[in-house]
């Protein structure tokens, strides 16, 4: 059965936009998706991973090293041949243990032959791909800390059980959760690059469309994906163009100034907000095919980049999106 195509997902434009930005600029630091269940969060993330062109990796490397990085992992990784692999998509289950996430001593080998060998975990599997965590707000805090740390540094450092291992682990972290079932600590939230809020569409037509497309996909997934192949291919081209353009996108001083003013007006905590705002605006510009970052790019990404960094005020019940919109109106008139 073919995967549900990315372009066939009804509505949820902000989430799709955020995922595309993260695909263009993985250094953004992940996307946090807030919302009810059954809003197509994991479908969208999976579809995007399936959409991207395969990656080249050293043959036989358990850590999926790119040929240029050969030998940087704990494996021998000496093969001169390279193979194509699909972009990894790892779905981290809530019950995953620390061992399974970061990797552990290969118990069997240690006990039988005394060999100290590292058994890669899910972080190694997600290298150069996506790591999706449903209900991240219910995950044990120490695991979330660990994941965000690795996502930010791009490297998994294991120092335990007599092992001292480091390997590359660069992935786009996608977390999802419903704030009504428990909240994520603000410190952790702050470390996500972008955050979006999703809701099932409240219009009848959109809901009918959801049911129609799901049914069509289930009846004949092959024909359905073919129907959407052209739209999907267009997205692939946009991402590829965005990636090549990104390093050359210029950031004029007045746009930097705009970003600072906006952050001051929203009173977003910390410098990370400003950095992410700039980075995502650049990714937005690259995705849209612009040579320089403009104010409209800043405005377009501001809600995603700042929403989760606003200081929580117990007495102010205004939604964070509204507060950012107000700040935009205030700063840019």
Partner 1 sequence: MTAPSSPVAPMDDAALALRAFALCPSAFGGLWLRGPGPARDAMIERLGSASRLMRMPAHIDGERLRGGIDLAASLAAGRSVARAGFLQEARGGVVVAALAERITPALAGSVAQALDQGDPAERFGLVLLDDGAEADERPPMSLTERVAFVCNLAGAQPSGVADWVLPEPVTSLADLPACSMEALRALASVSLALGVDSGRALRFAALAAGASAWLDGRTSVSDADLAAASRLVLAPRATRMPPPPTEPQAEDDAQPPPLPENEGMDGNDGEPEPPSYSNQDPSQDKDRVDDKTPDPDQLIAAAAAAIPPGLLAQIAAGRSRRGTGSGGGARHQSPLRGRPLAARPGLPSGGARLALIDTLRAAVPWQALRRQEGGDGRRLGLRIMKDDVRVRRFEARSASVTVFAVDASGSAAFSRLAEAKGAVELLLAQAYVKRTEVALVAFRGDQAQLLLPPTRSLTRARRALTELPGGGGTPLAAGLSMVCTLGTGLLGRGYTPLLVILTDGRGNIALDGSMNRAAATDDAMRAARTIAAARLAGVVIDISPRPRAEAAAIASAMQARYLPLPQASAATLSKVIGALT
Query: Is residue 139 a contact residue for partner 1 (CB under 8 A)?
Result: yes
User: Nearer Cβ to partner 1, position 122 or 259?
Assistant: 122
Query: Is residue 138 a contact residue for partner 1 (CB under 8 A)?
Result: yes
Query: Is residue 94 a contact residue for partner 1 (CB under 8 A)?
Result: yes
User: Nearer Cβ to partner 1, position 11 or 328?
Assistant: 11
Cα 194 to chain centroid, rounded? 8
Measuring CA to CA, which residue among 84, 66, 268 is closest to residue 278? 268
Catalytic, 272? Answer yes
Which ranges of the chain does DSSP label H, i.e. alpha helix? 13-24, 41-51, 98-102, 107-113, 122-125, 141-153, 186-190, 204-219, 221-245, 253-266, 270-288, 295-306, 320-332
Q: Which of 71, 76, 93, 154 binds partner 1 (CB under 8 A)?
A: 93
85 φ/ψ angles, rounded to the nearest 5 degrees: -130, 150
Stretch that binds partner 1, among 24-32, 65-73, 200-208, 274-282 (CB under 8 A): 200-208
Q: How far apart are CA 139 and CA 134, in angstroms?
A: 9
Minimum separation from the CB atom of position 154 to partner 1 (A): 25
Stretch that binds partner 1, among 16-24, 54-62, 76-84, 90-98 (CB under 8 A): 90-98
**Residue 242 contacts residue 24 (beta carbons within 8 Å):** yes
Q: Nearest-5° angle of CA 263, CA 135, CA 304?
A: 20
Q: Which of 222, 312, 322, 330 binds partner 1 (CB under 8 A)?
A: 312
Which ranges of 155-220 does DSSP label H, i.e. alpha helix? 186-190, 204-219
The residues that touch partner 1, with contacts defined as CB under 8 A, are: 1, 3, 36-40, 42, 91, 93-99, 104-105, 107-108, 110-114, 134-135, 137-142, 161-162, 178-183, 185-186, 199-200, 202, 204, 207-208, 210-212, 214-216, 218-220, 312, 314, 317
């Amino acid at each position: 059965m073919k995967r549900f195509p990315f372009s066939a997902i009804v509505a949820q434009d902000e989430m799709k936009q955020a995922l595309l930005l993260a695909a263009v600029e993985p250094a953004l630091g992940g996307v946090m998706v807030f919302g009810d269940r059954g809003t197509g969060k994991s479908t969208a993330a999976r579809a995007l991973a399936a959409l991207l062109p395969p990656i080249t990796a050293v043959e036989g490397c358990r850590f999926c090293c790119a040929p240029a990085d050969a030998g940087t992992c704990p494996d021998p990784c000496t093969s001169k041949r390279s193979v194509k692999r699909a972009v990894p998509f790892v779905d981290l289950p809530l019950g995953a243990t620390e061992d399974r996430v970061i990797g552990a001593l290969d118990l069997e080998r240690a006990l039988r032959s005394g060999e100290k060998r590292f058994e890669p975990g899910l972080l190694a599997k997600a290298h150069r791909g996506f790591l999706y965590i449903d209900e991240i707000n219910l995950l044990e805090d120490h695991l979330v800390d660990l994941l965000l740390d690795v996502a930010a540094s791009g490297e998994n450092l294991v120092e335990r059980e007599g092992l001292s291992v480091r390997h590359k682990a660069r992935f786009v972290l996608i977390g999802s959760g419903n704030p009504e079932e428990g909240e994520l600590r603000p410190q952790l939230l702050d470390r996500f690059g972008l955050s979006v809020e999703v809701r099932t569409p409240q219009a009848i037509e959109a809901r009918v469309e959801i049911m129609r497309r799901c049914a069509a996909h289930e009846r004949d997934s092959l024909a359905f994906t073919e129907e959407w192949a052209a739209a999907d291919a267009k997205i692939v081209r946009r991402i590829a163009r965005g990636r090549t353009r990104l390093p050359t996108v210029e950031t004029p001083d007045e746009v930097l100034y705009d970003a600072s003013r906006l952050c001051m007006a929203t009173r977003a905590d910390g410098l990370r907000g400003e950095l992410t705002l700039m980075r995502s605006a650049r990714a937005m510009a690259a995705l849209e095919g612009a040579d320089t970052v403009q104010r409209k790019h800043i405005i377009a990404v501001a809600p995603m980049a700042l929403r989760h960094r606003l200081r929580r005020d117990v007495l102010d019940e205004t939604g964070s999106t509204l507060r950012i919109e107000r700040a935009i109106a205030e700063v840019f008139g």
